[in-house]
Structure 1
């Protein structure tokens, strides 16, 4: 059941009905009766020293296990999860962690190279480079989409063809668009769902495919308003609130984690990690404060933005910090 929970979260399976029960029971095993030596060693390698949640499965353990496949060595994940020898599992865990770091370096290099090429006037992000590693194009598309909230399509070579991944915030169903492109013989094959897709096409079809997508998204404006459950005073963000929220977990597809809004907060930057994550202090005019973290953000643009105003409305999820175990905010957006 522990592996079922891991797969359900990482594959974004809807957490309705029986699936939510599967994940809940799998998390119980991971926390109180874990026997899988591969997962044990990966938890230790990841320096997780708190109760395992769906967050750890989806954002810490899952990406590491997938890293082997993304870097062309998919057997590493299988060997790790099926290993019965703790010493061998430790070796596999170390190799997988190294592959994940290699994957991160590749994707960060690509993202940095694209920063100056993004056209703000374009309806979508559309990029192709034959030198890019096939294992990271989906991640790149997701990063671009989160960066400017535009549908993003990223492609590279695979033998004599071009393969690509797309990510979107929703609205137009990009999975259905891929099926339509196949029917119109623009691409060879493709599919997906409203927020993610994959596709394959001939090299001489790139321009036609690009025109097809630009036409579909021309005049389409994704929802700009931030959805949130309720307004919160940051003075009530504490252990009690986190414990109450845990009663609704595990969170995932069709059971989204609540987003909260706090108004008129000041922001001070505390630390910057890996040139893309920002740890900051949020505080109100009564002296209440909260530690918040932005992930995968343009640091320079963020600094410029917060220098123009004194206070901000912040949208965030309440979390337990992976390393300190303190209650913190994972910030989604500010205005």
Structure 2
């Protein structure tokens, strides 16, 4: 069984004092900034007060000007344009953004989302595009590895503009007209999501509209309109894709989340109403755990076009129908993912030697391909080791890989590429298509490759060992200044050491949750700490336990309170976490 330990981030006292005094902020906020790599006053000011003017010029992409010239020529000649997207939320948001914007510019634009969980360009779709007289294809969130398909499109007389954010799998120049990809460019910010790259293209198109280059400054009237119109989609796709929420992504997401309450998109309004989020503050949590899973359900259930239609429609009646359809698919997805999770656990317990295999490779004959990512995430949390789930269909299998900080999929999967039909993804998540006969070979090879990598010890990183007296509304305000949270900027984690509970009790209808009452001599009143799905710990001796917590707002009787929420419980010895109810 993997072991869980905590590690407290060490901070130099001089750095703390410099930031705290230089910015007139609390020492804890200064510590949280330093823990996130924000080490000087200039960077700290930018981090705490993001500004759209700090965004990079889209024309820093070397081939952006050529891309704009080709799109404007297509608009002038009334050529048909196809946006080729992807079925995840990043791909859906990017597709919707360019479809809406190019139509605003007067273009005749269509879109395509792969079915049967395909990824990237395919020759059958390109042939159909040729028959329909498409002259220009713009990919979003895909295309960087489609050398042969781009070459085929060119042979049909179709120009291709690649916008993508995935790293190229081969070191060769694509036969595309232009490539806009921060990971294949000198562009300074490498972490844009697919929708962020599409947004940059739109920004550049607007700056070069009607044949003359104008400013791309977000404060200009023309750009201000563009940013207000599309930043909600950028935030949606960026948060959903779990990219680094630092640099430009932090700025785009922060301002994009603010746009949700004022969005003009009928489909988003209807969906927010359906999820009881309309006119409420929308943060990264609401996007990641409410909006994105629902939209993702359409793609996972092989109907990604419903998500696009919802995001581009201007008709309320159509939006209501589409939202209801997608919510229904989401419920079917939830039931299916629960079933497939149980099947995967049964397979692991029956077929895999957990003492020998560090990477869990699970082929399932009855699994739904669209939910493999969800199942893989659940198993990653349960077994604390990388997981690859395959849904077997005929002679092939479509899979999702999920990892933690112990294993970088970007570095390990290319060493198995001879076994794959295709693959792609990020450090922590990837998609794989493979022949069924190669699954056992892949299982052997990946476990052989990771033998020298330590995956057995999982670390919980602690930002600050906190006293009860420091847990105040003012600290919660400080934490809010760090939002939005995500990769590269995690929500702060605190350690309450050596607790002396005044009371411990089960809460919830079935007693499934835990409440611990704490007090200190210096603190006025009691502090209530909750542990969701931790009711089974009520029977354990928690005196002098150590609690890993995150601080949340709790509203009770119209009053805002700070409530620590337990992430992990450690008892003596310090490196031994108590088991939690899954």
Q: CA deviation at 1:215?
A: 1.4
Q: How many matched pairs?
A: 323
**Residue number in structure 2 paired with 1:198:** 431
**Residue number in structure 2 paired with 1:66:** 296
The SS at the match of 1:319 is: strand
- The answer as to whether partners of 1:291 and 1:328 remain within 8 angstroms in 2 is yes
- The answer as to whether partners of 2:294 and 2:327 remain within 8 angstroms in 1 is yes
- RMSD, matched Cα: 2.8
If the length of structure 1 is used for normalisation, what is the TM-score?
Answer: 0.85
* CA separation of 1:310 and 1:254: change in aligned 2, threshold 3 A: closer
User: How many angstroms apart in 1 are the aligned matches of 2:309 and 2:555?
Assistant: 26
- The answer as to whether partners of 1:10 and 1:62 remain within 8 angstroms in 2 is yes
Q: CA deviation at 1:272?
A: 6.8
Structure 2 residue runs of 5 or longer lacking an equivalent are 1-230, 571-582
Q: 1:45-124 residue pairs with structure 2 within 5 A?
A: 45-48=274-277, 50-116=280-346, 117-118=348-349, 119-121=353-355, 122-124=357-359
Name the larger-Rg structure: 2
**Residue number in structure 1 paired with 2:485:** 251
User: How many angstroms apart in 1 are the aligned matches of 2:274 and 2:467?
Assistant: 37
* CA separation of 1:137 and 1:321: change in aligned 2, threshold 3 A: farther
Q: CA deviation at 1:135?
A: 0.5
* CA separation of 1:98 and 1:240: change in aligned 2, threshold 3 A: farther
The SS at the match of 1:147 is: helix
The SS at the match of 2:515 is: strand
**Residue number in structure 2 paired with 1:41:** 270
Q: CA deviation at 1:134?
A: 0.4
Matched, 1:314 2:532: no
**Residue number in structure 1 paired with 2:451:** 218
**Residue number in structure 1 paired with 2:211:** none
Q: CA deviation at 1:194?
A: 2.4
For 1:45-65, what per-residue CA distance to the aligned partner results, in whole angstroms no more than 9, with x for missing partners? 112363111111111111111
Q: CA deviation at 1:159?
A: 4.9
User: How many angstroms apart in 2 are the aligned matches of 1:148 and 1:272?
Assistant: 28
Structure 1 residue runs of 5 or longer lacking an equivalent are none
The SS at the match of 1:156 is: strand
The SS at the match of 1:290 is: strand
Higher mean C-alpha displacement, 237-246 vs 223-232:
237-246
**Residue number in structure 1 paired with 2:530:** 292
- The answer as to whether partners of 2:396 and 2:435 remain within 8 angstroms in 1 is yes
The SS at the match of 1:84 is: coil
Q: CA deviation at 1:175?
A: 2.5
User: How many angstroms apart in 2 are the aligned matches of 1:283 and 1:174?
Assistant: 42
For 1:199-239, what per-residue CA distance to the aligned partner results, in whole angstroms no more than 9, with x for missing partners? 12111112111111221233543342310111234565454
User: How many angstroms apart in 2 are the aligned matches of 1:202 and 1:291?
Assistant: 49
**Residue 388 of structure 2: which of 118, 132, 153 is its match?**
153
* CA separation of 1:159 and 1:330: change in aligned 2, threshold 3 A: farther
**Residue number in structure 2 paired with 1:281:** 515
If the length of structure 2 is used for normalisation, what is the TM-score?
Answer: 0.51
* CA separation of 1:322 and 1:86: change in aligned 2, threshold 3 A: farther
* CA separation of 1:198 and 1:329: change in aligned 2, threshold 3 A: farther
The SS at the match of 1:282 is: strand
- The answer as to whether partners of 1:235 and 1:289 remain within 8 angstroms in 2 is no
**Residue 268 of structure 1: which of 505, 525, 537 is its match?**
505
For 1:137-171, what per-residue CA distance to the aligned partner results, in whole angstroms no more than 9, with x for missing partners? 01111110011211111001245311211111122
* CA separation of 1:307 and 1:130: change in aligned 2, threshold 3 A: same
- The answer as to whether partners of 1:131 and 1:156 remain within 8 angstroms in 2 is yes
User: How many angstroms apart in 2 are the aligned matches of 1:134 and 1:26?
Assistant: 31
Q: CA deviation at 1:180?
A: 0.7
